[in-house]
Structure 1
Amino acid sequence: MNSHLLFPQIGKVIASTGSRHFPRHLHDLIQTHLTIDATHIRRIRVAPACSPQVEATLLSETVFSAGEPSDAFDDPARLHLARRKNGYHYEITVLRADPRYGFSATERSRLEAISPLLLPMLEKHISALQPATLPASEPESLEQRFEERLRQTGIALSEREMQVCAGLLAGHTAPQQAERLQLKVNTVESYLRRAAIKLGISGRHSLMRWMYGELSL
């Protein structure tokens, strides 16, 4: 896995939450781990077992690697990721057009390894699409989402520590952040180390998981 490709893609996915660009960026992120031809995302409202209502698909969208789908997608090879939360079922399905080239156990493990990151991001994206969850003025920024996450966990960071973490979530490297914040690279890294200690994390992956993982109440 090439981390130089991975982290900018993660930043693009996070920054596009709630926009029409999200499915494409999610697809590109998954492609840093697997060779795929399409990514399908879906949310379903799951009716309680005692309810006469049937499940209702509330969102369904597919992104293809190149151009429009061909007849080969009539019977593709596929892998599923899914989670159920608060009466909703969230799904990410990755596909290969030719069923002869199925996914190996190693590839399945690769996808499952990043599922704690992908599925919460899908949930956040769909939540941001709901009109009732949007502020009256404009959609929530990445920095605002990060500050809200800090508030939920009761952790206090300095302004610089928050700026560095938000930049990291957006896919910026330490040199890029140093230029953006007009600081030295080692100063940026120092702020990140301090924030990591307070957050109880160890690096980029841990920060992503902390941002989009479940709260421990």
Structure 2
Amino acid sequence: MNSNLFPHIGKVIASTGSRHFPRMLHDLIRAQLAVDATHIRQMRVEPVTQRCEPEPPKDAALRADTLFSEHSDRRQPEPSSTAADAAQLHLTRRKDGYRYVISVYRNDQSERFSAQERSLLQDISPVLLPMVEKHINALQPLEMGPPGLAPIAETTGLDILRLRFNERLQQLGLKLSNRESEVCVGLLAGHTAPELAGQLQLKVNTVESYLKRAAIKLGISGRHSLMKWMYSPQNSAASPAA
């Protein structure tokens, strides 16, 4: 996976469940290849078994969101159709009776995606599709939660990223100090060391020291290795440094 994508990935995960998620996902994809629109949706692919309720149409879209590139002078593609004048590419993930789909579009049919571009997008699909699933699932309580509870979007984003980071530590039997964890989560969310220094009211070299300490415990070499440790599937079984 291209290491330049890791800061974008952190920002997407940090925006899970918020209105910023589609834009962050769109920007992440555009960092890999040029697209004019990104469309995400959730569809039911298994029928409801209750006899008293009508069966929903197969593949009926339950949730959908579309984001177009800004400052485009060309006519926008219609993401909900299979218009012949839009080059299209689709990624799908099926889980628990639902299908999660990411579709990317170009306005001009002459700009079809090349085999190399398809491969580039396919390479990051194991990261993109689970993020879409988590985002859509995080939105559900906004509609179904009981009155009086805080919207889920207020407690997702960075909190979800922090939770996933801590889960990863537990899986590998590792433990960091609170400051070390905050610095790592901040870097994973796409912040720079100077930005974190301002947020945490620390000196930049202090932030960098926390990162170095965390890197030793995680058995990695720096920020890019941290991103890879967090997001690359092949690193799920990594072991701590001696």
What's the TM-score, normalizing by structure 1?
A: 0.79
Could you tell me the percent identity over the aligned residues?
45
Structure 2 partner of 1:206: 229
| Whole-Å separation in 2 of the counterparts to 1:145 and 1:194 | 24
Q: State the SS of the aligned residue for 2:34.
A: coil
Task: Report the residue type matching 2:120 in the other structure.
Answer: R
Question: In 2 relative to 1, CA 22–142 (structure 1 residues): closer, same or farther, beyond 3 Å?
Answer: closer
Question: Aligned residue for 1:11?
Answer: 10
1:146–1:29: structure 2 CA closer, same or farther, 3 Å change rule? Answer: closer
SS in 1 for 2:19: coil
Higher deviation after alignment, 8-17 or 135-144: 135-144
1:161-176 correspondence runs (5 A): 161-176=180-195
Give the direction of change, closer, same or farther, for the CA distance of 1:71–1:41 in structure 2 (3 Å limit): closer
Number of equivalent positions? 207
| C-alpha distance in 1 between matches for 2:123 and 2:3 | 15
Q: Which of 163, 172, 182 is the aligned partner of 1:148? A: 163
Deviates more, 1:85-94 or 1:168-177: 168-177
Higher-Rg structure is 2
2:23 is matched with 24
CA 1:109–1:133 in structure 2 vs 1: closer, same or farther (change >3 Å)? farther
> Which residue in the other structure is 1:81 paired with?
91
Kindly state the Cα deviation for residue 178 of structure 1 after the two structures are TM-superposed.
Answer: 4.0
* Residues in 1 aligned to 2:98 and 2:212: alpha-carbon distance in whole angstroms: 41
Contact 1:42 1:92 in 2 (8 A): yes
Contact 1:83/1:91 (<8 A) preserved: yes
Q: TM-score, normalised by structure 2?
A: 0.71
2:214 corresponding residue in structure 1: 192
Q: Structure 1 residues 208, 72: CA separation in 2 closer, same or farther (over 3 Å shift)?
A: closer
1:96 maps to which residue?
Answer: 106
Root mean square deviation of aligned Cα:
3.3
Whole-Å Cα distance in 2 between the matches of residues 113 and 90 of structure 1?
A: 17
Give CA deviations for 1:153-212 in whole Å, capped at 9, x if unaligned.
4554321222022102210123433444314254033133045339xx9431331347xx
CA 1:143–1:99: 2 relative to 1, 3 Å: closer
Contact 1:82–1:119 under 8 Å retained in 2? yes
For residue 64 of structure 2, the aligned residue among 45, 60, 64 is 60
CA contact (8 A) 2:13 2:161 kept: no
Structure 1: stretches of 5+ with no match in the other structure: none
